[in-house]
Amino acid sequence: MLLFNTAAADVFYKKQKTCPHCHSEHFSLSNHSKVLRFSILPIIPLSINYQHQCDACGYTSAVSWYSLPPLELASFIKYFIGLVLIVYILTKAILGIHEQADNEIRYLNEPKKFDTYFVYSDKFTGEPKRINNLKVAQLVEFDDKSMTFRVANYTYKYNKDIEIAMRTSMLVQDDYFSSKTMTFTKQQVKQFYEDNSIYKIMRPELYSLYGGFVMHPPKPKPLYAGVKLDKHNQQGITYFKDGQFKEALESFTLSAKGGYSWGQLNLGQMYRDGQGTEVNNEKAAYWLNKATLQGNPKAKIELAELCLSYDCSKLNTQ
């Protein structure tokens, strides 16, 4: 509410003088100016009215503003605090509008996936015009010539309703966007923007707009991916359990030659034990050593045991 008010001016300057009427020492400067205020915030002075006033007899003497003490003149800035604030807010708003317009042109010329478009449903999708005629469209694919959008299943009457939907992260719900997409040429999209069928374009920051998610953040990579199993080694284990030793030997050989340490271990054990082949300690030591060099703990133990009965000094030359 805008209020007219009169404020006393004894903050910056107050010097007692002798009253010319009653000779009291309580003759001082007072302020009876009227100021337009918003609540308690002064916006602009409506009139400047200073007087010398005697607190004892009530005698007053008018004072022109240009004869005021320097400190009191300097305090005039307090009358314009609200005006300065209004000018600042308006200037920032105007600059923000221009910045938004510049950004939208850049988003059109340099699109990115998940750019979010505020559109008029009847003009953008060709649906009949209704009271709730605003929709959200999101860019999902694009190339040098075309742009593909997914369009919301929901319509809105006011732009603030779209902002609320974004703040509450509705856009990441499974049924928010239609499964059908719409593809336009880049020239068509620019024409939509020029004729105001697209009335706003925003680019998510940190996957969000207005503080809510408008796209799913990428899933973090797991800290531990688990043991990577080799298909040939796994097939060899299956053959071995079924007693098909020759087939197991072939699968372990493929795994071992592929550089998989557990395949090398299993192949070495089969040569050592003569399963699916004749006993061959030389090949057994060779493959167990290969696995050991890769840090396989079990192969290291198996090789040490084999070397108790087999001369492993040849391994250094292989």
CATH number at residue 294: 1.25.40
Q: In which domain, by residue range, is 64 found? A: 2-83
Quick one: pLDDT at residue 225?
A: 56
SS3 111: coil
In a domain, 296, yes or no: yes
Tell me the angle at which helices 81-109 and 186-194 cross, rounded to the nearest 10 degrees.
160
* Among the listed residues 102, 116, 198, the one whose alpha carbon sits nearest the alpha carbon of residue 150: 116
In a domain, 181, yes or no: yes
Q: Is the pLDDT of residue 7 over 60?
A: no
Q: Domain check: are 170 and 204 in the same one?
A: yes
Q: Domain check: are 177 and 126 in the same one?
A: yes
- The torsion region of residue 196 among left (phi > 0), alpha (psi -120 to 50) and beta comes to left
Contacts of 265 (CB under 8 A, 6+ apart): 287, 288, 291, 296, 298, 299, 302
In a domain, 103, yes or no: no
Q: Domain check: are 300 and 251 in the same one?
A: yes
In a domain, 220, yes or no: no
pLDDT in tens, 288-308: 999 999 999 999 999 999 898
Q: Could you give the number of structural domains in the chain? A: 3
What residue has token string 């600059």?
95
In a domain, 147, yes or no: yes
Average pLDDT over residues 76-83: 85
In a domain, 39, yes or no: yes
The angle subtended at Cα 146 by Cα 145 and Cα 151, nearest 5°, is: 165
Q: Domain check: are 202 and 116 in the same one?
A: yes
In a domain, 98, yes or no: no
Contact (CB, 8 A) for 213 and 172: yes
Out of 149, 178, 213, a domain closes at 213
pLDDT in tens, 221-240: 666 556 678 999 999 999 99
In a domain, 106, yes or no: no
Average pLDDT over residues 275-287: 92
Confidence bin at 157 (pLDDT 50/70/90): very high
